[in-house]
Structure 1
Amino acid sequence: MTRQGQGGLILLVAISAFGAIGCNPNAREIQTLKLHKQALQRENTKLAAQLKDALDEQDTLLRELEDKDAELAQAAEQWQDAEDRAKAAEAIAAGIGGAPTGPTADGWTATPAGDKITVGSNILFSPGRAKLTDAGKRALNGIARDLTVTYSGRPVRVYGFTDGDPIRKTKKLWQDNLDLSANRAMAVTRHLIGQGVDTERLETIAMGPARPVASNSSAAGKARNRRVEIYAIR
């Protein structure tokens, strides 16, 4: 074979090899997968940024909710203080000066507004719930007897209180602490009615985290603040 013929053969083999590589379907598939991977990485980066923005917004909303809860608690406390002052003024004007009258039932405390009994929410309810426990029902049965015997005829006021922690775990059930305290106070009121206390005597008030009796900085303090207070009004 001549040199010219050999050169042509080598060139033909090189072209054939190049064509085999360029037309290899596996190479095209690998390139496609690489491009797809890069697109997914870009999308993942974009979604991660969106998630971070959403979490930042959630934190901002939670802080705003806590501020609103505090404002609401302060407003409720101011309202209650104003009502107490008005009732005290009425008592003074009537010449009774808020002095205790009649016997005080066991477990109750005499106050200027009337005799009061406090029941912890840990007895009345499961955490984050407004359905009475069996122990809570038994405690309220005794209170209902006091209201129908010792305090017969007196107006009755039921206050629901919570601690200062914002609602988180049961957010699907309650809008905020005021909502939870309202449902708990109403559950107590309904049970008292079921035990024979006249509906016309009862008033139900939700206080949320207002008027704490202990600091919300400790678990023990929070437990004391989660409560229901029942007054037999003078």
Structure 2
Amino acid sequence: MPKAITEGFNDMHGRLLFIGLLAAATSMAGCDTGNKTNQQALLDENRELRDNLASTQKNLDDAEARSRQLEYELGEANSLVEQNSAQPVATAFGPGVEVFQSGGEMIVRIDGDVLFDSGRTSLKSAAKSTLKNIAAEVQRSFPNAKVRITGFTDTDPIKKSGFKSNYHLGFERAYAVGRFLDEQGFADESISYATFGPDVPLGSKSKSRRVEVSVITED
């Protein structure tokens, strides 16, 4: 509870107690007109203070409720900042490959142009070498981890390729990467797939086209 409000609240309680005692003493002292006038004035002030006290109590309750709400919103904001503050770093896997941490997952982000030709889902020859190195490092560092492979595309609509949508293209690219990792010794049941198609673009179309391998190290 804020200090200023608390001090005011305590002071009001003290005044109420004093006025109540003074009113009682005045009543016992006599019934002349002056005393009655003073007594009524004290009672009126007492009533006014009680009304103010009730209003102050409501304000305190509202302030506490708002404080709890702000604490919740701050926690949510901090959580969101933490999720979005992961900074990808270049790696020894070569150009177009970044690694960053998000929550309980290590994520390897691979540019789509490193893996595939435009509109294709067949891995490039050079991409297989890159994926072999990634697979070896993941298996060495996280031998029992599960992986989720997610495909992303740019926002250009599908025109020439045979895919119904960018979501289908994103999934097929994720699946191609997963099948290759399976060949490198990953258990089939440890691999899951997802696609976001064009829904999570990055700074440019080329960066938006990507596959992310999420190494899930926490249940």
Normalising by the smaller structure, the TM-score range is 0.5 to 0.7
- Specify which of 189, 194, 216 is matched with residue 183 of structure 2: 194
Alpha-carbon deviations, 1:134-182, whole Å to 9, x = none? Answer: 1111111011112211111011110100000100121xx1011001111
- Specify which of 155, 178, 198 is matched with residue 167 of structure 2: 178
Residue 160 of structure 1 is matched in structure 2 by 151
Residue 69 of structure 1 is matched in structure 2 by none
Whether the 8 Å contact between 1:163 and 1:222 is mirrored in structure 2 is yes
Whole-Å separation in 1 of the counterparts to 2:105 and 2:134: 15
Shift in Å, 1:108: 2.6
Displaced runs of 4+ in structure 1, greater than 4 A? none
Amino acid paired to 1:153: N
Amino acid paired to 2:208: N
Residue 216 of structure 2 is matched in structure 1 by 233
Residue 40 of structure 1 is matched in structure 2 by none
Residue 130 of structure 1 is matched in structure 2 by 121
Q: SS of the residue aligned with 1:232?
A: strand
Whole-Å separation in 2 of the counterparts to 1:117 and 1:154: 14
Whether the 8 Å contact between 1:212 and 1:225 is mirrored in structure 2 is yes
2:157 matches 1:169: no
Whole-Å separation in 2 of the counterparts to 1:155 and 1:114: 10
Whole-Å separation in 1 of the counterparts to 2:142 and 2:155: 32
Residue 31 of structure 1 is matched in structure 2 by none
Q: SS of the residue aligned with 2:176?
A: helix
Shift in Å, 1:228: 0.3
Per the normalisation by structure 1, the TM-score is: 0.50
Amino acid paired to 2:106: D
Shift in Å, 1:203: 0.6
Mapping 1:68-217, distance limit 5 Å: 108-170=99-161, 173-214=162-203
Structure 2 gap segments, 5+ residues each: 1-75, 80-90, 93-97
**RMSD of aligned C-alpha atoms?**
1.8
Mapping 1:51-66, distance limit 5 Å: none
Q: SS of the residue aligned with 2:141?
A: coil
Aligned residues with identical type, % of pairs? 32
Whether the 8 Å contact between 1:155 and 1:202 is mirrored in structure 2 is yes
Larger relative contact order (C-alpha < 8 A, sep ≥ 6)? 1
Shift in Å, 1:201: 1.0
Whether the 8 Å contact between 1:178 and 1:206 is mirrored in structure 2 is yes
